[in-house]
Structure 1
């Protein structure tokens, strides 16, 4: 059987389109390639973005800002020593970009100027931490990405 140029070009196009469709279907159906949205209520959070910017500027203006350090027991979050830790309030949010089921939030209740997040709550991989805290009615925000 003889194949002319027109038939060969059509067969190549069909093969290429099939190849691309195979990967599109595979990426959409396999769980390991699933990536969640950053947040469910994106538009609601967008309205509060200026407050977040102001709080982050307040945090950056501090002489001693929040520090995050990986240690053997987990993740150690240290608050400024010049602030009275009993007057601090807020939350620590840990966000996993690859899986929203691993995201969690911890209320800030301090016995000292440090809080420990146990390593059994952290799975290896990339994490984003956001420490949203308040002291003397002034909001502060600390954001950082890290790999555990």
Structure 2
């Protein structure tokens, strides 16, 4: 009986999906020093965008002084509990408004990862977002 119960548990455990923090978890750890430099460079821009949720969408407003400096970039709504529910959006130079349709969002916690490049340098700001 004990062996049968153990076998059932092992089969159950093996079939469960494993969601690591990131798909490239180990590679991200190697770039720790570079990430610290990106964070220091990005800190002055931490309040240069607002996140608002209405009935139709999650809206991100980027201040004009930052939007004009962006060469390219993207925003990602990262869902820590299930990376398959992540949503990405490219940012074009000068774009001050980004919308994520509420129909694509699931209630719960996301992290908004705003990454952009200016003059070849990478910037990144993370902000928690709760969808209800």
Give the alignment's TM-score, normalised by structure 2.
Answer: 0.74
> Cα deviation per residue 1:87-133 (whole Å; 9 max; x = unaligned)?
43111122112222212322212664111111112111111111111
Gap regions ≥5 residues in structure 1 = 1-20
Q: Deviations over 1:52-83 (max 9, x none)?
A: 22222222123842332222221112223213
May I ask how many residue pairs the two structures share in their alignment?
Answer: 131
Cα drift, residue 144 of structure 1 = 1.4
Deviates more, 1:43-52 or 1:116-125: 43-52
RMSD value, Cα? 3.1
Task: Provide the residue aligned with 1:28 in structure 2.
Answer: 13
Flag as ranges the 4+ runs of structure 1 deviating above 6 A. Answer: 24-27
Higher strand share: 2
Q: More helix by proportion, 1 or 2?
A: 1
Q: Which residue of 2 aligns with 1:120?
A: 103
Matches within 5 A, 1:4-15: none
Query: Aligned to 1:36, what secondary structure does the other structure show?
Result: coil
Q: Among 121, 124, 128, which residue is 1:138 paired with?
A: 121
Structure 1 contact 35–99 (Cα < 8 Å) conserved: no
Q: Unaligned stretches of 5+ in structure 2?
A: 1-5
When Rg is computed on C-alpha atoms for both structures, the one with the higher figure is: 1
Q: Structure 1 length normalisation: TM-score?
A: 0.68
